[in-house]
């Protein structure tokens, strides 16, 4: 719109120049044009120019306003669309923020529980008595899962000949047993986990491995292995964590051989389950073997009694046959003889007049 007005002004100036030229031409170019004439001519032309300028400006402004209104309407629609999109996006963000806040709350609760569990675990690892109870609880869970029964498949704290009390004693076939200790030195392992510097971790690792070897020697000297007293030639030592069990194998490859040289088998929860499964299967196989022997003895006795039964039944059969023959004799020959006698008696009773007193059976009087 500014460019159009500028163009109209230029046209007005040009027209003014043309008007001045016309006035000069009317005077022939030789007469001096008076200021009033020039002013009148310029005013007349300027008025016409201003009139045209006003008309042109009005139309231009109208067109520009119409275009501006259409543009504003399009921009309004675009803004409304954008506002609607932004509103939806904000609502989605608000919903996501609410869900995120809820999730963060749940995560905070779980973190609190994990922190409490970690603290409880730390307390367990820091107390030798609590460590023993923790190991006993884990073994108890494994035994319950396998369906083993206390005082039938195993015993707790049963004193051995040396006066020691292993944590568990598992019963084997032929009155054999195997003992297990569940206490394990974990103090330096806890410090190893909590250590911040590499030097501290290395020192705690060495101290932990040393404690494990010392524990193996200590268990080997407790009298848990007593073949004369009915135990096998090995004792089990329970490690209550798979990570610790893997840590020992990874950091001391000779530890397993060292333990075996002391007749000690190190068991993690998984390996203990496997060992107890083998023990349970051996017990069941031995029980089945014993049951099979009893079944064979019972079958032999059954066979003997069956033969006696068959012999008695045969005797009874023969007696039944004899009784049957006697019965048939009674119901045939003897019955016919009795019926014949009864018939004669009936004939006598139904004869003419019947027998007379002192007379014979055929009606003649006795002498």
> pLDDT digit string (tens) for 80-116?
787 788 778 878 887 887 887 787 777 777 766 656 6
Is the pLDDT score of 1 beyond 60? no
Measure the CA–CA gap between 259 and 242, rounded to whole angstroms: 18
* Contact between 189 and 172 (Cβ < 8 Å): no
Residue 311 or 130, more confident? 311
DSSP 8-state class, residue 223: T
- Each residue of 157-170: pLDDT tens digit? 888 888 888 889 99
pLDDT band at 34 (very low <50, low <70, confident <90, very high): low
The answer, as to whether pTM is greater than 0.75, is no
Question: Under DSSP, is residue 268 helix (H, G, I), strand (E, B) or coil?
Answer: coil
Residue 119 or 281, more confident? 281
Q: What is the pLDDT of residue 173?
A: 81
Is the pLDDT score of 189 beyond 70? yes
* Contact between 252 and 197 (Cβ < 8 Å): no
Q: What is the pLDDT of residue 367?
A: 38
Average pLDDT score over residue span 245-270: 89
Q: What is the pLDDT of residue 313?
A: 87
Chain-wide mean pLDDT for the chain? 76
Average pLDDT score over residue span 46-71: 67
Q: What is the pLDDT of residue 210?
A: 92
Question: Under DSSP, is residue 336 helix (H, G, I), strand (E, B) or coil?
Answer: helix
Average pLDDT score over residue span 248-257: 87
Segment of 18-27, 100-109, 219-228, 327-336 carrying the highest mean pLDDT: 219-228
Average pLDDT score over residue span 240-254: 87
Question: Under DSSP, is residue 165 helix (H, G, I), strand (E, B) or coil?
Answer: coil
Q: What is the pLDDT of residue 365?
A: 41
Query: Would you put residue 223 in left (φ > 0), alpha (ψ -120 to 50) or beta?
Result: left
- Each residue of 283-301: pLDDT tens digit? 777 666 666 667 777 788 8
Is the pLDDT score of 354 beyond 70? no
Give the angle 138-140-141 at the CA atoms, nearest 5°. Answer: 65
Average pLDDT score over residue span 10-36: 54
Q: What is the pLDDT of residue 10?
A: 58
pLDDT band at 184 (very low <50, low <70, confident <90, very high): confident
Q: What is the pLDDT of residue 361?
A: 43
Sign, CA dihedral 139-140-144-150, equals positive
Is the pLDDT score of 30 beyond 50? no
pLDDT band at 215 (very low <50, low <70, confident <90, very high): very high
Measure the CA–CA gap between 92 and 14, rounded to whole angstroms: 64
Give the angle 340-343-348 at the CA atoms, nearest 5°. Answer: 130
Is the pLDDT score of 31 beyond 50? no
């Amino acid at each position: 719109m500014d460019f159009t007005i500028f163009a109209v002004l230029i046209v007005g100036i040009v027209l003014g120049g043309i008007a001045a030229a016309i006035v000069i031409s009317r005077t022939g170019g030789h007469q001096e044009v008076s200021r009033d004439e020039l002013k009148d001519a310029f005013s007349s032309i300027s008025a016409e120019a201003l009139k045209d300028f006003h008309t042109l400006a009005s139309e231009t402004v109208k067109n520009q306003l119409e275009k501006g209104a259409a543009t504003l309407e399009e921009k309004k629609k675009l803004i409304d669309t954008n506002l609607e999109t932004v509103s939806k996006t904000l609502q989605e963000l608000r919903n996501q923020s609410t869900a995120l806040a809820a999730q963060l709350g749940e995560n905070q609760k779980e973190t609190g529980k994990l922190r409490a569990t970690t603290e409880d675990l730390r307390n367990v690892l820091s107390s030798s008595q609590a460590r023993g109870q923790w190991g006993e609880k884990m073994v108890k869970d494994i035994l319950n899962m396998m369906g083993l029964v206390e005082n039938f498949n195993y015993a707790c704290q049963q004193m051995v000949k040396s006066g020691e009390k292993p944590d568990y004693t598992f019963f084997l076939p032929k009155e054999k047993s195997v003992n297990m200790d569940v206490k394990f030195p974990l103090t330096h392992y806890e410090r190893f986990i909590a250590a911040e510097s590499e030097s501290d971790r290395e020192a705690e690792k060495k101290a932990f491995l040393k404690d494990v070897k010392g524990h193996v020697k200590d268990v080997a000297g407790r009298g848990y292995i007593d073949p004369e007293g009915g135990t096998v030639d090995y004792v089990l030592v329970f490690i209550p964590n798979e990570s610790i069990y893997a840590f020992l194998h990874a950091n001391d490859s000779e530890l397993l051989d060292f333990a075996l040289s002391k007749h000690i088998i190190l068991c993690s929860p998984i390996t203990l389950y496997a060992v107890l499964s083998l023990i349970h299967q051996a017990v069941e196989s031995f029980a089945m073997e014993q049951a099979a022997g009893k079944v064979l003895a019972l079958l032999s006795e059954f066979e003997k009694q069956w033969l006696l039964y068959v012999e008695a039944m045969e005797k009874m059969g023969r007696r039944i046959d004899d009784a049957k023959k006697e019965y048939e004799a009674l119901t045939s020959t003897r019955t016919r003889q009795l019926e014949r006698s009864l018939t004669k008696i009936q004939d006598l009773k139904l004869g003419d007049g019947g027998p007379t007193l002192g007379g014979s059976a055929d009606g003649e009087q006795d002498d």
